[in-house]
A and B are shown apart, each in its own frame.
Chain A
Amino acid sequence: MSKTSALAKVSTLNEVKKNEDITSLSHAIFPGTHCPLFGVAMIASFIEDLVVLVAGTQECTYYVKNFVHNRQKGKDNFYSVITDKHDITFGAENKLREVIKEIDETLNPKGIMVVTTCVLELIGEDVEGLGRVLEEEVNAKILVVPTEHFKCNSHIPGMERSLEKLIGLMEKNRVEEKTVNILGHRQVGIEDTELMQVLAKAGITINSVLPSKCTIEKLKNVSKGALNIVTDFIALPLAKQMKDHFNTPYVYFGKPLSLERIKEKYKAIETILNIGILKQLQDKEEELNRLVIETKERLKDKTFIYGNTPMMAFEVASYLCELGLKPELIQVRELYDNDDLFMEEIKSHRYNPYITKIANIAPMEKVYDELKPNLYIGHENPMNLMKRNIVQITLDDVTKKIGYEVPIYALKKILLSYRQQDEMKKKMMAMSKGGVRHGVV
């Protein structure tokens, strides 16, 4: 594969051994990744009675409040304490102490998550220590989550840390058989997922869902669950903590796409809970197999650029390779556990796509013109893709799904997006030949 000018400094898959091998397409980045504070907002705002105190500049506190307020339709418990020039010079301890005490006295919450942003972390404010001291003086439990963005490259650490800290609100309980916890699910409507429906039919009940159906009172009882099903890798640190603290076993059931891998996850759950559920899913397996055949027929040898989905970049790319599509460029956040496995799978198809950092779409326009992909998977300005006849596929709704419904949804969306673009193209061609008559089918 020859390197084009826009991609001259970018590694290809064969060259990527470590995170540092993955570079950005340009030094000037647009729009850039979100910070860990955003990650905290995505998790902590679900916990109804948890008060979140964001300590930082007007900018950080303003924008995060705006985000959670809209996301939770005004039912958020996010408060802000502004750190100013004086705090940077003399420290913010007294201000934080005063504000935390005020919240404790006026709102009487069971828990306060104190979130420190870049500035406080940069000046080395010991908020963790302050939290420990204050726990002796206030009624609320204090959870401190640092969210400095200069130590990472995304919002993921904020999500992981805010979930992991919830262990501080959990208590030891007697395990209740036939119950599970779902860790990492960030959508409402867990009952509608395939996983929960088959578990319910097998007599399994949900003990708790973190964070999307969660209160501080419910968190006390999480350790009653007989099994933790981790539906997003962001909850793995919490699952490991719970294994250590409460000996709760866990199964990581992320968003696998291949039938075999999904089956493997279901089998693991069957074994631990001593139930049978796979037999309930034969129809789904057949539906998935039919879709795989159709996708292979329709999209064989089509090329794609992977932009961003709620799934794992290399896992999705590997699955699409398996279906006969060819990756041209994959945008990734960083390397995660198991990525080496998926990277090897892509290489086994003799593909060597470019690998770049995520969230830098400004220089992508040149890349589209050079690589001319058929599909773009992820978010982009639709017009940028449309005018180049690149089919855009967004898979955000997949976060609501667990099990075979993940690849079923993804493949249906891919086929639908491809068909819609095809139809639009035909209409545009008809228009250029004199237009279409209204009402004529």
Chain B
Amino acid sequence: MALYRYLPVPSDRMGTLWTLSCIKDAFIIEFGPSGTTHFAMEGMMQLNGDHNANIYTTHINETDISFGNEERLEKAIIEIDQDHHPQYIFVMASSISAIIGTDIKSICFKMQPQAKAKLIPITTGGYNGDYTVGVENTMLTLCKHVVKKEGVKKSKSYNIIGNTIDAYNFLSDVEEIKTLMKEVFQYHIHTTFTAYTSMDEIENALSGAFNLVLRTEGIKGAKYLKDNGDMPFYYGKPYGLEGTMAFIKGIEKQFQLQINETYIQNKMNQINKYLMHYKFVTRELDNKKVALIGDFDIVIGLAGLMEELGLEVDQLLIKHKKNKHTPEELLIRYKDRIHFNQSEKQISMYLEKTPLYLLLSDGSTLKLHNKSEKTLQIANPNFIKHNIYPYTPFVGFNGVLYMIQNLIELEKSIV
């Protein structure tokens, strides 16, 4: 159903803009009504991400539409090129220019000889899928058109693909992964696609030893770099104790790295104590049902942690379409309980009829009427959360601790 009381699933164009907007020195020109761009920039504030890129609009009027006049865009490209001397300019369609059939690729081709910057066309007008498609295609675009074909390898360094501002806890999660990689393998971050990075860092991504792909939407870009830059990658995100160990073991095995066993043992001892504590606190609950609603990677990741904590995963409702690169083995465990592309109405009907102990979901879903005893926000869209402190991860060892802390507090709270 197309009716939404709260926020609809964002479009591919929104995902594209979110992925690019946090890159320092990225220049983006949108060919469309200025309100579209203005709204987008203000709307990004709910993501709790900085938009570091330089985003411009051309505005567009009736005459431009009637006569297919693209002069505004051409002049804006030349102006940005001459005034700012960027290395790259992303030239983006809007919903309007996409409908009237503005050929962004041809404009870039035609204008390229007049511009020093490399013009990168982004043709999506928001009709080709949900935001995950935009995130995926944009990371691929960066890998294809910005990453230099060769790089001098920096020892003990890696890239992250898929830490983008639309992921609810991106700021803290990436810090924990950096800590994990440093403490366990003595590896250091080289380039992050895309929060927060610069065009220069993306250009030089092949200097890293390998890519860690944190969300399924990053697999396409990582495969491109594997095939065209001989750069291996590992896909996974370390949620829960078991998930974190699987992540560490996976990286160890794939890249033949040495593990710091002492660090891991200390962390496991610390966490096992609180895992037991939480199980003890919740031992007498009659209803231990949990539903997880949001983006695929966080939902499937935290579902594992919920089971480790002795809770019963009832449903996993993903608010976007399934990615064709998603490894099938991830889905087997929850094959009857995981549902993709859930609309607000479908989610609403489920929540209204299902008494849950715990609902882990995005901020928009939390507004819907539900029969859950406890709720916790784990995903965007977001109405109220202000995430600026970067040390509250959901991933890694510290992520397990932080989640247990949240859940103990919820258990103690009186609704």
Contact = CB atoms under 8 A, between A and B. Distances in A.
Interface of A: 26-38, 57-67, 69-70, 74, 79-82, 84-85, 88, 95, 99, 102-103, 118-119, 122-123, 149-151, 153, 155, 359, 362-363
Output the residue of A62, A81, A95 with the most chain B CB within 10 A: A62
Contacts of A60: 36, 39
A150 B60 contact: yes
Contacts of B126: 57-59
B39 A122 contact: no
B58 A34 contact: no
Contacts of A64: 39
26 contacts: A27-B72, A28-B76, A28-B80, A29-B57, A30-B57, A32-B37, A34-B39, A35-B33, A35-B36, A35-B38, A35-B39, A58-B8, A59-B36, A62-B7, A63-B40, A65-B4, A67-B39, A67-B43, A80-B4, A80-B7, A84-B127, A118-B95, A119-B95, A149-B35, A150-B60, A153-B34
Nearest to A103: B3
Contacts of A79: 3-5
Contact of B14 (A62, A102, A155, A363): A62
A81 B55 CA distance: 28
Contacts of A122: 65, 96, 99-100
Interface of B: 2-11, 13-14, 29, 33-43, 46, 54-62, 64-65, 72, 75-76, 79-80, 83, 95-96, 99-100, 126-127, 130, 367, 381, 383
Nearest to B66: A150
A81 B2 contact: yes
Given A32-B59, A62-B43, A82 B2 contact: yes
B57 A63 contact: no
B290 to A, nearest CB: 25
Contacts, number: 161
Q: Is the interface of A mostly helix, strand, loop or mixed?
A: helix
A27 B75 contact: yes
Q: Sort A-B residue pairs by CB-CB distance and give the 5 closest, nearest first.
A: A35-B35, A32-B34, A149-B33, A28-B56, A63-B43
Contacts of A57: 11, 95, 126
A33 B38 contact: yes
A249 B148 CA distance: 70
Contact of A65 (B6, B59, B95, B96): B6
B255 to A, nearest CB: 39
Contacts of B76: 26-29
B56 A29 contact: yes
A287 to B, nearest CB: 37
A229 B80 CA distance: 47
B59 to A, nearest CB: 6
A64 B130 CA distance: 18
B40 A119 contact: no
A7 to B, nearest CB: 14
A80 B129 CA distance: 18
A20 B35 CA distance: 20
A38 B60 CA distance: 17
A33 B57 CA distance: 10
Contacts of B40: 59, 63
B68 to A, nearest CB: 13
Given A29-B34, A63-B39, A79-B3, 17 more contacts: A35-B36, A37-B35, A38-B38, A57-B95, A57-B126, A58-B126, A60-B39, A63-B40, A65-B6, A65-B7, A67-B43, A123-B99, A150-B60, A150-B62, A150-B65, A153-B34, A155-B35
B35 A69 contact: no
Contact of A61 (B8, B13, B46, B79): B8
Contacts of B79: 26-28
A67 B35 contact: no
A29 B58 CA distance: 6
Contacts of B46: 66
A118 B96 contact: yes
Contacts of B54: 30, 362
Contacts of B9: 58
A421 B201 CA distance: 39
A53 to B, nearest CB: 8
A163 to B, nearest CB: 19
Output the residue of B8, B9, B65 with the most chain A CB within 10 A: B8
A359 B34 contact: yes
A305 B126 CA distance: 38
A269 B56 CA distance: 46
A282 B320 CA distance: 64
Contacts of A84: 2, 127
A90 to B, nearest CB: 14
A285 B367 CA distance: 50
Given A57-B11, A65-B7, A150-B65, A31 B37 contact: yes
Nearest to B73: A27
A290 B8 CA distance: 54
Contacts of B80: 28
B30 to A, nearest CB: 9
Contact of A82 (B4, B43, B64, B65): B4
Nearest to A58: B11
Nearest to B5: A79
Given A59-B39, A84-B127, A66 B7 contact: yes
B109 to A, nearest CB: 20
B62 A151 contact: yes
A149 B43 contact: no
A169 B290 CA distance: 46
